[in-house]
Amino acid sequence: MVRSSFVLSLLASAGGFLSSEAKKLPEAKHLSGSYVVEFDDSQDASDFFKSIGSKAQTRMSFDSSIFKGVSIQFHDTETAEQEAAALAELASVKRVWPNRIYDLPKDNVVWTGKSKDASVANAVVKRQSSNDTFSPHLMTQVNKLRAKGVIGKGIKIGVIDTGIDYTHPALGGCFGPGCLVSYGYDIVGDDYDGFNTPVPDDDPYDGCAGHGSHVSGIIAAQANEYGFTGAAPGVTLGMYRVFGCTGSAANDVLIEAYLRAFKDGSNIITASIGGPSGWSEDPWAVVVSRIVDAGVPCTVSAGNEGAMGLFYASTASNGKRVTSVASIDNWVTPILLIDSFFSIDGAANETFGYVVGDPSGWAGVKLPLWTPNFDISDPAAGCSPYPADTPDLSDKIVLIRRGTCTFVEKATNAANAGAKYVLFYNNVPAGALGPSVSEVTAIKAVGMTTATQGEAWVKALAAGSEVVLDMVDPETAPVSLITADNTLTGGSASTFTTWNPTYEMDIKPQIASPGGNILSTYPQTLGSYAVISGTSMACPLVAGIYALIADVRGTFDPATLEALIASTANPRLYNAGSGTANVKAAVAQVGAGLVQAYDAAYATTLLSKSYLAFNDTDHLQKTLKFSVKNLGKSAVTYKLGSVGAATGYTFSDSIYPDQFPGLEVSDEYASIKLSSSSITVRPGASADVSVTVTPPKLDGARLPVYSGYITLNGTNGENLSLPYNGVVGSLHKTRVLDTGYLAISSDANLNPVNGNASFVLSKNPAADVTLPVAVALMAFGSPRISIKLLQVNGNKTKNLGDIFESPYDYASRDAYPAAFDGRLADGSYVPAGEYKFSIEALHIFGDAKKAKEWDVTESAPFAIRYGK
Ligand SMILES: *[C@@H]1O[C@H](CO)[C@@H](O)[C@H](O)[C@H]1NC(C)=O
Ligand SMILES: *[C@@H]1O[C@H](CO)[C@@H](O)[C@H](O)[C@H]1NC(C)=O
Ligand SMILES: *[C@@H]1O[C@H](CO)[C@@H](O)[C@H](O)[C@H]1NC(C)=O
Ligand SMILES: *[C@@H]1O[C@H](CO)[C@@H](O)[C@H](O)[C@H]1NC(C)=O
Ligand SMILES: *[C@@H]1O[C@H](CO)[C@@H](O)[C@H](O)[C@H]1NC(C)=O
Ligand SMILES: *[C@@H]1O[C@H](CO)[C@@H](O)[C@H](O)[C@H]1NC(C)=O
Ligand SMILES: *[C@@H]1O[C@H](CO)[C@@H](O)[C@H](O)[C@H]1NC(C)=O
């Protein structure tokens, strides 16, 4: 029996008050009055049902070898915590969790087929070729497996998502046995938003949300007019719909989906869903881990919170043995450009493409180009005020290279010389973006064209030519989808991909795959095709690759598949968005590196692990072992070595982790000693290698996370690598609580109250009264937040223990508010009087029984009395 954490029902974003760092923290969300309950296998659950009686309604029942239990909704959300606490004490109940809510990752929809007219489709169509030339497949060797006819034939992949438009011709056109989408279920219905009651039916069709159709196409799209297919078009898909048209999905819905996908015989299960966590103890993560233990590999996207810096793991990807997938940018960037016309020296007009900005008053503008600077490599073109002899620019379009100073500064300099129209050209090869200069009131229209186009015009102007642009109304102009080589970030980690490790130093993500700028199928109602960026797109490609490898090797064993993709993956160079550095990307960002499907499918070397976690200084695993198994037909000698990857500093001058880009990385590597520099392994045999680490000597207070790869070069031609990471310093000593304070429940922003607040509470839980709220602002994750009540008596205080809504387990970096209605954890009401909150957060790996292992802040005092 574990006394569990309880929901903090009053959850508001603490807007106006928070520091700039804390402001970026997302809201934690739970379904008020709803719990997920796990039953003890060995006990009869009748005491549980007797106990809830008519007080709660069962939302879902889980009766699986993986998880037995229910999710329930108390009718009275005010008393729900008390009731749930009582349930946790029952013999039949193993654990009670608040029913958490998850969002779809904030993927960036770059383009959909609904945008503008049909020329988009024409622009992108490639000749159908018998060879796979789709860039995400070229990047991951999927094309090489496809060339051998490997398509994942007959393998069942369960997808947990928003549903699917199976009527889409490229998604099979039908649902049911014999169709591409041959099984699945709608657990929620169109109208489900995460907070209302799911209305299930047996049809997982989605014509409104789109995400699941995109994800499914990445796995298994059939040949289509856009010239691509999914990675494994021979699989059959099961779709479990957990999102309605908009909104979120609750824990119980996700658990139900996984249990169904497992029961229906899925060989692989994938989900591009998550929420900030860093702990593997969330019930959804627990269920996914158990399904992996039962032999079904599960891939989950690592999350799109790269900006949050190190230690921001997302659940359920942070579950033990779950394959967490990071995102790599596509080699090519599809870009949507608005077409317009230009002519040089009065010649026949030609078409060019640009991205419109703000303001956008281009309609009917027909003016010659003028540029302040003929140097097409000037990093700061147009950043200085124009010289006094500059002509009046009111009848020109000013062409300026992007870079160094802001668009607004450049537009201001042009406007000071009379300009009304400004067209930027890009300073990087990939695409263009829409600049905003709306505060420069003299400017009527702005936009950006590609580097290639801008440079060509500047050369013409430098040669004395006249270039006249004839601008079509951007509202009605045709658009084209072009693809440009992404030489800047193609093949590098996407800036949005979430950084790890977990708060318990587990290595995540495991692997990376293309997720930035991915073309796939979309519901026909939403345009049929779309380009989207996110780890949501990276994850299903790895699920498809698992199917291809399983097709070749005849095994679904999760540990084997993960070890194969990890050892054969290609580590990446570090890229903070502005070009690659001469250091490998941190394992905490890209895991083993870019997945290489062909090498994984045919490798005859199998490592016993997919990573080595050295932990922190306090728990340093100085020496770790792995074994090398030779599955080939002749003896192989492996040359062993190691290579460092970027060390990332978690903190600089704040107790909040640094944001990315901006967090400091360095090439201060750990030193690695191997048990031997070369091993020879006979066919069918295994050999052990031990790896001894000496972490770099760095400032432990900044929690530098070091990483790298053990390398094995075999005489069989296989070059393998095994990722490792660890941290210098003590997670246990790291401060986790920024501060705690008193707020008032009627203030949606939960601003701190420093004066003498006084509250009139009610012992009737249904009464609508204003409550004192304890707010814990977390700078780092904590295994437990506890809100104690201190009775103030003159200069003395007496600690009365946890308030009713406390404690809260496995907190991420977030603001955690807990309202106080006069009750303590045991449900008893305290007398009227003066009190303070003691807001306490346990350190990572802390011993809850030791006072010094908690960060503690006392709130301002407040008075309570009871009204009617
Ligand atoms: C397909 O790939 C093979 C091997 O790389 C090559 O020889 C052949 O020319 C390609 N065919 C087409 C149509 O591109
Ligand atoms: C360029 O051609 C288009 C379509 O043929 C026409 O609408 C437009 O007026 C032309 N512009 C110029 C500058 O000739
Ligand atoms: C690191 O050490 C702590 C404390 O022993 C342990 O709980 C945790 O699981 C370890 N992490 C890993 C990845 O081994
Ligand atoms: C192993 O091969 C890689 C290239 O794949 C090379 O960079 C590395 O130096 C080799 N290691 C050893 C120990 O030969
Ligand atoms: C493996 O590494 C060796 C040594 O650097 C290199 O010669 C060989 O081409 C590599 N093989 C592969 C398949 O990358
Ligand atoms: C709270 O009230 C006490 C007594 O009325 C007073 O002495 C004290 O200054 C007040 N504190 C604040 C912060 O207003
Ligand atoms: C409370 O503390 C103040 C300052 O330390 C002291 O002057 C006062 O006598 C104390 N009051 C009581 C009731 O102990």
**Of the listed 137, 168, 211, 214, which one is catalytic?**
211
- Cis omega (within 30 of 0) for bond into 359: yes
User: Which pLDDT tens digit goes with each residue over 238-287?
Assistant: 999 999 998 899 999 999 999 999 999 999 999 999 988 999 998 899 99
Query: What per-residue confidence (pLDDT) applies to 113?
Result: 64
The finding on whether 89 has its CB within 6 A of some atom of ligand 2 is no
131: CA distance to ligand 1 center in Å? 6
641: CA distance to ligand 6 center in Å? 67
> In terms of Cα–Cα distance, which of 187, 207, 212, 208 is closest to 199?
187
Pair of tokens at residue 686: 């295994």
When pLDDT is cut at 50, 70 and 90, the band that residue 166 belongs to is: very high
The finding on whether 692 has its CB within 6 A of some atom of ligand 5 is no
Residue 719 CA: nearest ligand 5 atom is 1
Residue 343 CA: nearest ligand 2 atom is 13
Nearest ligand, measured from the Cα of 861: 6
772 CB-near residues (< 8 Å, 6+ apart): 742, 743, 744, 745, 757, 759, 819, 820, 835, 837, 862, 864
505: CA distance to ligand 4 center in Å? 28
For residues 177 and 166, is the Cβ–Cβ distance under 8 A?
Answer: no
User: Which pLDDT tens digit goes with each residue over 654-688?
Assistant: 999 999 999 999 999 999 999 999 999 999 999 99
The finding on whether 178 has its CB within 6 A of some atom of ligand 7 is no
Active site residue 161: yes
Pair of tokens at residue 269: 């299960």
One-letter amino acid at 635 equals A
Active site residue 847: no
Residue 133 CA: nearest ligand 1 atom is 14
Pocket of ligand 6, candidates 742, 756, 795, 858: which has the most ligand atoms within 8 Å of its Cβ, to mutate? Answer: 756
What is the SS3 assignment for 766-830? CCCCCCEEEEEEECCCEEEEEEEEEEEECCEEEEEEEECCCCEEEECCCEEEEECCCEECCCCEC
The finding on whether 165 has its CB within 6 A of some atom of ligand 3 is no
**Of the listed 324, 528, 536, 707, which one is catalytic?**
536
Pair of tokens at residue 174: 């039908």
> In terms of Cα–Cα distance, which of 216, 319, 302 is closest to 541?
216
One-letter amino acid at 795 equals N
Bridge partners of 367? 469
For residues 276 and 812, is the Cβ–Cβ distance under 8 A?
Answer: yes
User: Which pLDDT tens digit goes with each residue over 459-474?
Assistant: 999 999 999 999 998 8
Q: What is the set of domains in the chain, with CATH numbers?
A: 20-103 (3.30.70.80), 132-331+486-505+521-556 (3.40.50.200), 333-483 (3.50.30.30), 737-866 (2.60.40.4070)
**How deeply is 689 buried, as exposed, middle or buried, from its count of CB atoms within 10 A (0-12, 13-18, 19+)?**
buried
The finding on whether 711 has its CB within 6 A of some atom of ligand 4 is yes
User: Which pLDDT tens digit goes with each residue over 478-513?
Assistant: 777 677 788 889 999 999 999 999 999 999 999 999
The finding on whether 367 has its CB within 6 A of some atom of ligand 2 is no
Note the pTM of the prediction, 2 decimals. Answer: 0.85
The finding on whether 713 has its CB within 6 A of some atom of ligand 4 is yes
Residue that the structure tokens 């009605």 belong to: 476
For residues 538 and 515, is the Cβ–Cβ distance under 8 A?
Answer: yes
Q: Does the structure show a pLDDT above 50 at 416?
A: yes
* DSSP calls for 146-192: HHTT---TT-EEEEEES-B-TTSGGGTS-BSTTSSEEEEEESS-TT-
Angle between helices 251-263 and 283-293 (to 10 degrees): 10
Query: What per-residue confidence (pLDDT) applies to 136?
Result: 96
Alpha helix locations (H) across 27-167? Answer: 46-52, 80-88, 119-124, 135-139, 142-147
Query: What per-residue confidence (pLDDT) applies to 695?
Result: 98
User: Which pLDDT tens digit goes with each residue over 64-92?
Assistant: 999 999 999 988 877 777 788 788 888 99
The finding on whether 716 has its CB within 6 A of some atom of ligand 5 is no
Q: Whose CA is closest to atom 5 on ligand 6?
A: 756
Active site residue 536: yes
CA 261 to chain centre: 23
**Of the listed 5, 30, 161, 855, which one is catalytic?**
161
